[in-house]
Amino acid sequence: MFRFLLMPLVALLASCSPLNTFNAIVPKDRDVAQVARDQIFRDGPRGRLDLYAPLNRAADARLPVIVFFYGGSWASGAKDGYAFVGRALAAQGFLVAIPDYRLVPDVRYPQFLEDGAEAVRWVRGNAARFGGDGERIVLAGHSAGAYNAAMLAFDQRWLGQDTKAVRGFAGLAGPYSFLPLDNPATRAAFGRERDLAATQPVSHAGPGDPPALLLVAGKDNLVYPHNAERLAAALGRGGVAVDVRTYAGVGHVGIVIAIARPFRRKAPVLRDLADFARRATAPTPRTPATR
């Protein structure tokens, strides 16, 4: 029933633009809640984030945190459309933050990364108010959001000392090595940069980086597998733990839609992401190598 009802929505989501209708139709995970809405981490209408958490938790518990960045070619998207991600991950035992960020053409690289860094700093400083542990953060994202999360995790220009709170990175169908700029979306977002190599996550991956989970859509015709392969190789050369998983038969949009309850049988994205985040945020802290 849901399969036939949601097929038109999945087609519309092919642009990675979130739809509030999708959240209204899909069955919701139980025993979780949106515990905060429109928390301000920077000035402006796109400087807000939402938080999700499980309802049944010990009063003194400090949950590990996932900050999830949505995709949309750096030109579309809104946090409200990704409540299904926030609720699904919260049901796995996490405090989940989903921030907005400024979009092309109003801004270009690196402004959306600056927004992401401000969101992570806010989460680190305020997680305890909502039952989270701001020193145990996993950065995650889909598509352009996976790029944003990867740059924040691996390029210390953005988070600086706050990088030490980042225990892991999880990317869904992310572009990590996409030179030359050969499509309108990347040219619009990065085309004014002189040092294009510095815009690539693969250029910054190395010793001391947090462990990574790279999830690949086997039928992705937008972000090709070489992105994950090259990033995995760079991390591996630096001695960083990295796990690459490919889901056969899943497309670029399908990999994030698989987090929603009716589509989880398509690929174990939610299980793999949650298992990785639990391992990465285990109480024993990692000791970063000197870079």
114: which 2 tokens? 């600056």
Residue 160 CA to residue 117 CA, distance in Å, equals 9
| Number of compact structural domains in the chain | 1
CATH code of 26's domain: 3.40.50.1820
Q: Quote the mean pLDDT of the chain.
A: 91
Residue 56 CA to residue 35 CA, distance in Å, equals 13
285 in a structural domain: no
**pLDDT for residue 110:** 98
Q: pTM for this one?
A: 0.91
117 in a structural domain: yes
Residue 36 CA to residue 195 CA, distance in Å, equals 39
State the SS3 of 204-268: CCCCCCCCEEEEEECCCCCCCCHHHHHHHHHHHHCCCCEEEEEECCCCCCHHHHCCCHHHHHHCC
The least confident of 29-33, 83-87, 252-256 is 29-33
Residue range of the domain that includes 31? 2-280
Contact 200, 216 (CB under 8 A): no
**pLDDT for residue 133:** 97
19, amino acid identity: L
Whether 106 has a pLDDT exceeding 50, the answer reads yes
The least confident of 50-64, 138-152, 156-170 is 50-64
198: which 2 tokens? 């510095």
286 in a structural domain: no
32 in a structural domain: yes
Residue 216 CA to residue 174 CA, distance in Å, equals 8
The least confident of 16-25, 71-80, 227-236 is 16-25
Residue 34 CA to residue 71 CA, distance in Å, equals 21
State the SS3 of 182-206: CCHHHHHHHCCCCCHHHHCHHHCCC
The least confident of 10-19, 32-41, 71-80 is 10-19
